[in-house]
């Protein structure tokens, strides 16, 4: 049996997990190839995928870009301290305007906000930090960590 809901959570069967694992390793894999590997029809795969989308388990597919080939070589994480927690929404709205920011998280701990940036180089990072982020009203200070190398990059295991 395909997808079931229990306590507002999606419960997957083995076939759903196989489909998802194959798509997570290559989201461009043809449905008929998946069907052949699993041993069910392409229509059945298509139907299961529509259900997974309906229950918001699949929320899109994407292509990974090699950012280094485009000249973006510095990945950094910036912890942002706010003057007041109530400034969060206005600060995040300003952060959304900075295209180099890939992720933004409201956090517990020392910072109010943690961002992940992708920059051309350290000089570019410094310009973004001093001219764009630290000038936002409500930002009291920042803490920056530069990633030397990403060693793990994966999704949840099914």
Above 60 in pLDDT, residue 1? no
The tokens describing 48, both together, are 């299961």
pTM: 0.83
pLDDT digits over 48-80, tens only? 999 999 999 999 888 889 999 999 999 999 999
**CA-closest candidate to residue 78, choices 149, 133, 151, 148:** 133
Above 90 in pLDDT, residue 44? yes
Contact 71, 120 (CB under 8 A): yes
Of the pLDDT bands very low, low, confident and very high (cuts 50, 70, 90), residue 2 is low
Of the pLDDT bands very low, low, confident and very high (cuts 50, 70, 90), residue 31 is very high
pLDDT digits over 72-113, tens only? 999 999 999 999 888 899 999 999 999 999 999 999 999 999
- Percentages helix, strand, coil for the chain (3-state, rounded to 5) are 35, 25, 40
The tokens describing 113, both together, are 């906000």
d(CA 78, CA 80): 6
Q: Do domains 4-54 and 74-147 have the same CATH topology?
A: no
Above 80 in pLDDT, residue 27? yes
Architecture of domain 4-54: Orthogonal Bundle (1.10)
Residue 49 has a pLDDT of 95
CATH, domain range 74-147: 3.30.70.920
β-pair partners for 9 = 6
Map out the domains of the chain as residue ranges.
4-54, 74-147
Contact 16, 26 (CB under 8 A): no
């Amino acid at each position: 049996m395909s997808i079931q809901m229990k306590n507002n959570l999606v419960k997957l069967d083995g076939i759903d997990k196989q489909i998802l694992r194959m798509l997570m390793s290559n989201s461009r894999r043809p449905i008929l190839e998946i069907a052949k590997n699993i041993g069910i029809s392409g229509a059945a795969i298509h139907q299961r995928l529509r259900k997974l989308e309906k229950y918001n388990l699949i929320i899109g597919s994407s292509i990974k870009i090699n950012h280094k080939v485009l000249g973006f070589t510095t990945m950094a994480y910036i912890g942002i301290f706010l003057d007041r927690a109530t400034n969060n929404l206005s600060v995040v709205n300003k952060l959304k305007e900075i295209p180099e920011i890939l992720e933004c998280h409201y956090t517990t701990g020392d910072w109010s906000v943690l961002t992940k940036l992708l920059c051309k180089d350290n000089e570019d990072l410094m310009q973004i930090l001093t001219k764009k982020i630290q000038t936002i009203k409500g930002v009291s200070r920042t803490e920056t960590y530069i990633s030397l190398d990403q060693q793990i990059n994966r999704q949840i295991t099914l």
